[in-house]
């Protein structure tokens, strides 16, 4: 049971919230998941965050925890960066491999996934600054509880299931449905019968996102982004009542330092962009990384070449210049 709870989180709730807030969801309800950052003086703040910042571009850190809450005691099982580029009218998603070998301030060189467990969101933001020279002010942390219910509320998501993944998806369907799904009285367990493009419900989408043994961690991150983009597209043509129901689910399982007014502004910005083909990036790049076992304590990690990886990633987020 303990291992079963360490399920994959596809942490793209920012996409939900951006769209929901654009429809003017009740201010007081948005406030329930807002956690105000502690005040620090200017010198301290500058010392903490020195990463790149470009006017008109907002980077929002998405963190999915591997426990049933969003507190620091849990590892970040999924880390994404959503970039809202209002200058070029573009929305982008970057996936950061959880096994990326990074310097964690105050600790040692370890997997990225450990940073959240050590020091919560503040330490994870420091890690992005120190290792990747990326400034992140805004974040959203979510646990897996909300994932299946939200997918069901929007009527499922469309993804492509490869032939090699059909059996693996069905294995995870058992765990997702039997242990975590709270709508068994209304929805029967249904397995995937064939490969190809198809619409998955909540527990099927979570099972699809958890696949990890038929290929690689990088392919798994690609599936995360595929699901995230599908959710975004579904929200673009959903009705107001679906937004409100999804928002209620999110509020119970999410914390963020994005204030209600900022959220509403981001909502209108994202809706005005109307980017139906979201650009995607996988960090580190396949040709400039080396996954291997260091020792029994560190386990499997991904070491990466700094210059080519950061050059490509910064160009993706901020543009060539």
| Helix intervals (H) in the chain | 2-5, 13-21, 27-31, 42-48, 114-132, 145-153, 166-175, 202-210, 217-236, 240-252, 260-273, 306-318
- Asked, for residue 63, whether it belongs to a domain, the answer is yes
Instruction: Identify whether 20 is part of a domain.
Output: yes
Could you give the count of Cα atoms lying within 13 Å of 235 in the half-sphere of its Cβ? Answer: 31
Predicted model pTM: 0.69
Confidence (pLDDT) at 91: 85
Q: Inform me whether the pLDDT recorded for 99 exceeds 50.
A: yes
- Read off the CATH number of the domain in which 114 is found: 3.30.420.590
Does 77 map to a domain?
yes
- 125-167: pLDDT as tens digits: 999 999 999 988 789 887 766 778 888 888 899 999 999 999 9
Percent of the chain with pLDDT over 70: 72
In the prediction, which pLDDT does 217 show?
67
Q: Nearest-5° angle of CA 239, CA 155, CA 230?
A: 90
Measured in degrees and rounded to the nearest 5, phi and psi for residue 294 equal -80, -55
Residue 81 lies in a domain: yes
Least confident segment among 46-60, 176-190, 230-244, 294-308: 46-60
* Residue among 96, 92, 229 nearest 157 (CA): 229
Residue 41's pLDDT band, with cuts at 50, 70 and 90, is very low
| Range 40-64 average pLDDT | 62
Q: Are 132 and 304 in contact (CB under 8 A)?
A: no
Give the 3-state secondary structure of residue 107: coil
Q: What is the pLDDT of residues 199-238, one digit of tens each?
A: 999 999 988 988 876 666 667 777 877 887 788 778 777 6
Domain that holds residue 288: 2-146+239-318
Please report whether residue 124 resides in a domain.
yes
| Euclidean distance between CA atoms 172 and 175, whole angstroms | 5
CA distance 76 to 95: 13
Region of 156 (left: φ > 0; alpha: ψ -120 to 50; beta: rest) is left
In-domain check, residue 219: no
8 A C-beta contact, residue 263 and residue 17:
yes
Q: C-alpha 174: how far from its chain's center?
A: 24
Q: Which pLDDT score, from 0 to 100, does residue 96 have?
A: 92
List, for residues 296-319, the tens digit of each pLDDT value.
677 889 999 999 999 999 999 998
Number of domains in the chain: 1
Question: What pLDDT does residue 288 have?
Answer: 92
Residue 246 resides in a domain: yes
Residue 250 within a domain: yes
Cα atoms in the 13 Å half-sphere on the side-chain side of 208: 31
Are residues 243 and 23 in contact, defined by beta-carbon separation less than 8 angstroms? yes
Among 87-91, 247-251, 281-285, which is the least confidently predicted range? Answer: 247-251
Alpha carbon distance 25, 306 (integer Å): 42
């Amino acid at each position: 049971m303990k291992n079963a709870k360490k399920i994959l989180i596809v942490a793209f709730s920012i996409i939900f919230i951006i769209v929901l807030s654009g429809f003017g969801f009740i201010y007081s309800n948005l406030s329930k998941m807002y956690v105000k950052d502690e005040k620090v003086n200017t010198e301290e703040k500058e010392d903490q965050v020195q990463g790149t910042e470009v006017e008109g571009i907002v980077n929002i850190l998405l963190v999915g925890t591997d426990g049933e809450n969003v507190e620091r005691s849990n590892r970040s099982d999924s880390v994404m960066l959503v970039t809202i580029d209002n200058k070029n009218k573009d929305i982008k998603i970057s996936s950061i491999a959880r096994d990326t070998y990074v310097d964690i301030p105050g600790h040692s060189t370890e997997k990225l996934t450990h940073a959240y467990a050590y020091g919560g969101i503040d330490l994870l933001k420091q890690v992005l600054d120190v290792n990747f020279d990326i400034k992140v002010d805004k974040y959203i942390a979510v646990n897996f509880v909300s994932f299946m219910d939200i997918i069901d509320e929007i009527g499922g998501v469309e993804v492509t299931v490869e032939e090699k993944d059909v059996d693996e998806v069905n294995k995870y369907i058992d765990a997702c449905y039997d242990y975590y799904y709270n709508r068994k009285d209304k929805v029967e367990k249904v397995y995937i019968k064939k490969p190809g493009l198809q619409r998955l419900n909540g527990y099927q989408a979570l099972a699809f996102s958890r696949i990890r043994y038929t290929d690689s961690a990088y392919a798994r991150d690609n599936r995360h982004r595929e699901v995230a983009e599908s959710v975004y597209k579904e929200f673009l043509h959903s009705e107001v009542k679906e937004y409100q129901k999804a928002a209620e689910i999110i509020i119970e399982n999410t914390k963020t330092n994005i204030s209600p007014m900022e959220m509403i502004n981001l909502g209108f910005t994202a809706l005005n962009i109307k980017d139906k083909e979201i650009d995607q990036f996988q960090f580190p790049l396949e040709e400039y990384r080396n996954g291997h076992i260091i020792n029994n304590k560190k386990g499997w990690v991904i070491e990466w070449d700094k210059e080519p990886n950061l050059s490509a990633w910064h160009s993706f987020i901020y543009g060539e210049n």
